Chains A and B, each alone.
Chain A
Amino acid sequence: MIVAAIASVTSRKMLRSVIYLLFVLIGVAGIYFLIDYNFLAAVQLTVYAGGIIVLVIFSVLLVHHIEMELEMAKLSKKIITAIACLVGLGVFLATIYSTNFNVVENSKTTTVEDIGRGLLSYDAGGFILPFEVISVLLLAAMIGAIIIGKGDKLTKNDDTL
């Protein structure tokens, strides 16, 4: 998974880097499967691997020639960024390994029913409000994407009306 992630940010060919990203996303879905959140893994596979990857591939194909090579950053900038990232990673890992987590041993399986009840419950700790907000957000994003995508033509129509 990490190899695929590194490849997806360093590959010079656009389409290949998208496919490497697909491998990373499938790996993440595998982690979800391993810790027994099957619903989340399914959502990850359908939304990310099925939706977002296809969307990105579409935009790559519309915008690029497949064989076009990417322009890369300067070597000095790359090295500086890599060093900064490694320092940040070191800080993260030092913090993580110096913290004592009290892990609860368990082997609970979460069913879809639990998730649905939690998402739609009205009482304290329920997630009904964020759920509705996210649905409105998705609708707004959809309309916005259509309007931006149409762009020119739509505004011209407005002028004539």
Chain B
Amino acid sequence: MIAGISIYEIFTLTSILFFIGIYGFITRKNLISILISLELILNASAVNFVVINKYLYPDVLQGVFFSIFIIAVAAAETALAVAIIINLYRQISSVEVKDTEIMKY
């Protein structure tokens, strides 16, 4: 644990990060921006896993493993999303959400 920093403060920080991510997820109109907001949300949850692991159950390592899995899944998801976005851009020349009406061409 971090000396002098309580678990409440870290939870406050991650909650704020999470809701900033949700705010961006809803208000942005661009696929790449939505991806960025998604990264914020995933990071907030991963930090929560690790902090709960460290502060409440320091003898086990489950939170760390889950964070590693979250990071791996996020990397896979980002690679796929970027591939889809670039393919979409090739076909309709735009990455705005409102132009993305078809899933199958």
Contacts of B74 in A (CB 8 A): 48, 52
Distance (whole angstroms) from the CB of B71 to the closest CB of chain A: 5
Contact in complex: A63, B32 (CB < 8 Å): yes
Interchain pairs with CB closer than 8 A, number: 209
Contacts of B10 in A (CB 8 A): 31
In the complex, per-residue mask of A78-119: 1 if CB is within 8 Å of any chain B CB, else 0 = 100110011011001100110001111111101000110011
Given contacts A48-B39, A55-B78, A56-B32, contact A32 B87 (CB under 8 A): no
Contact in complex: B23, A40 (CB < 8 Å): no
Given contacts A52-B75, A89-B19, contact A110 B32 (CB under 8 A): no
Interface of A is mostly: helix
Q: Answer whether residue A160 sits at the interface, using C-beta atoms and an 8 A cutoff.
A: no
Query: In residues 52-76 of chain B, which contact A (Cβ within 8 Å)?
Result: 54-58, 60-62, 64-65, 67-69, 71-76
What is the size category of the interface that chain A forms with chain B? 35 or more
Distance (whole angstroms) from the CB of B57 to the closest CB of chain A: 7
Contact in complex: B33, A58 (CB < 8 Å): no
Given contacts A58-B82, A89-B16, contact A51 B24 (CB under 8 A): no
Query: In residues 85-103 of chain B, which contact A (Cβ within 8 Å)?
Result: 85-87, 89-90, 95-96
Q: What are the 4 tightest A-B residue pairs by CB atom distance, in nearest-first order? A: A9-B24, A141-B76, A145-B83, A106-B58
Partner-A contacts on B (CB < 8 A): 1-2, 5-8, 10-13, 15-24, 26-30, 32-33, 35-37, 39-40, 43, 46-47, 50-51, 54-58, 60-62, 64-65, 67-69, 71-80, 82-87, 89-90, 95-96
